[in-house]
Amino acid sequence: MNLCELTAHELGELLKSRQVSAVEATEAAINRIEAVDSRVQAFVTRTVEEAFAQARAVDAARSRGETLGPLAGIPMALKDNICTVRIRTTCSSRMLADWVPPYEATVVSRLKEAGAILLGKLNMDEFAMGATTETSAFFPTRNPWDLERVPGGSSGGSAAAVAAGEAFYTLGSDTGGSIRQPAAFCGVVGLKPTYGRVSRHGLIAFAPSMDQIGPLTRDVTDCALILNAVAGHDSSDCTTADLPVPDYRAALNTDIKGLKIGVPREYFADGLDPEVAAIVRRAIDKLAELGAICEETSLPHTEYALPTYYLVAYAEASSNLARYDGVSFGLRVPGRDIEEMNINTRTEGFGPEVKRRLMLGTYALEAGNYEAFYLKAAKVRTLIRQDFEAAFNKYDLLVTPTEPMVAFRLGEKGNKKPLAMAAADSYTSAVSLAGLPALSLPCGFSQGLPVGLQLIGPSFAEARLLQVAYAFEQNTEYHRRRPALEVA
């Protein structure tokens, strides 16, 4: 049996019945990383000793007859902007290349309590700014389906690790599509929860009014299990909602008869690859075949979502990243005085894409530009949110392509062609501006590469998203396909 081909819940059943130990599962995952990560390059930091120590602790607890949760003993990994105490957290930037946080993120604490085994930290676009994982200061991550293509970003390492069988699940972060886009490119399930459903405490900020932590998994059941573990109010994050957390796994069933699903026509306009469009249309037909009522609808302000997202996100990034000045923590490049030290530090510490976004965000916030740019974007953001509210007065969910194309080649777009990269956020950014939950799951293949289907729900409707995704998944085979990675 190849343990690394299992889902997390399949492995959990073997652990529960003691057919496999947590140490054996951890050894299998680490061996898989050794075999393939030199080519995939998903990991920035590996925590082998810590992982085996955690696995031994889980096995000891199980041998004592303790009641353990469904994630106990299952190896996983984290995007490297999620703080881990005593383990470096780099944001894939020179600025934080050697930084070891003195505290850990709430989601990490919750997964530890659930008995998760941490294999290490995963590569990403620097400070989560990018859609290819090519802006990492260390190395680009590669798509396991085709090593000459990007895995998406900014959570590219998180998606690639799951697709390559290096971790049974991972956590990423999503500001404008950074979980959903790489999930689509790598053929895995990726969920951006409602803003406030999962704590951001310990997540290094990019744009705090949109940042959310969420799971990347091999199937929908795993996604529900991980959300169960990390969701809920956190006194350390005042933006989390003090609402009950449903049992997301219990919500999984295949009965979607009578559900009303809207199909926004704006997501099927120019720029969408014809083959991707056809595959997504077939997926929508499958939902209708299962009993859902699928109707065309409109989100009229969609065309303004991308520029609005960039203005808001870049302005917030400009404010957040001002703290990296060479004084308190992180990289320090000496200068003749504090001003020169600050300039030298930021010049050497930040890569080209981060600098570009910071300059644009700072420009938008200047006194003479604030009303013309940032304030106007904030007003349009309200209109976009109202579009969704109107749609959800009529529909239970909306369905769209996750991305207008399949994964493209390394170096084809990237930070040398920032305008060409805009398409990567075009189908995901409006959801982030509105703070809504959205899930991407595989719905077919084009050119041998995965295509993602995006389900969008009203606030705190994750259970409904997971139910519809599960119904689709259980009546198709796309989630069972794995990339044919040659093992070293």
Catalytic residues: 79, 154, 178
User: Please, are residues 442 and 452 in contact by the beta-carbon 8 Å criterion?
Assistant: yes
DSSP β-ladder status, 397-401 and 260-264: parallel
Residue 106 contacts residue 236 (beta carbons within 8 Å): yes
Secondary structure letter of residue 87 according to DSSP = B
Residues 224, 248 contacting (CB under 8 angstroms): yes
- In contact, 44 and 77? CB cutoff 8 Å: no
End-to-end CA distance of the chain: 19
Strand locations in 220-360, DSSP E? 260-264, 293-297
Strand pairing category for 260-264 and 293-297: parallel
Which phi and psi angles does 88 have, rounded to 5°? -60, 145
User: C-alpha dihedral over 416, 417, 421, 422, to 10 degrees?
Assistant: 130
Which residues lie below 8 Å from residue 105, measured CB to CB, with a gap of 6+?
Answer: 82, 83, 84, 199, 201, 202, 203, 213
Cβ atoms of residues 186 and 159 within 8 Å:
yes
Of 398, 354, 409, residue with least CA distance to 185: 409
The DSSP code for 268 is G
CB atoms near residue 239 (< 10 Å): 15
- Beta-carbon count within 10 A of 55 CB: 24
Q: Rounded to the nearest 5°, which phi and psi values hold at 71?
A: -100, -5
DSSP codes joined into one string, 105-162: -HHHHHHHHTT-EEEEEE--SGGG--SSS-S-SS----BTTBTTB---SSSHHHHHHH
Tell me the DSSP string of 31-73.
HHHHHHHHHH--EEEE-HHHHHHHHHHHHHHHHTT----TTTT
Q: Which helix (H) or strand (E) holds 77?
A: strand 75-79
Sign of CA dihedral 235, 240, 242, 246: negative
Stretch (H or E) spanning 78: strand 75-79
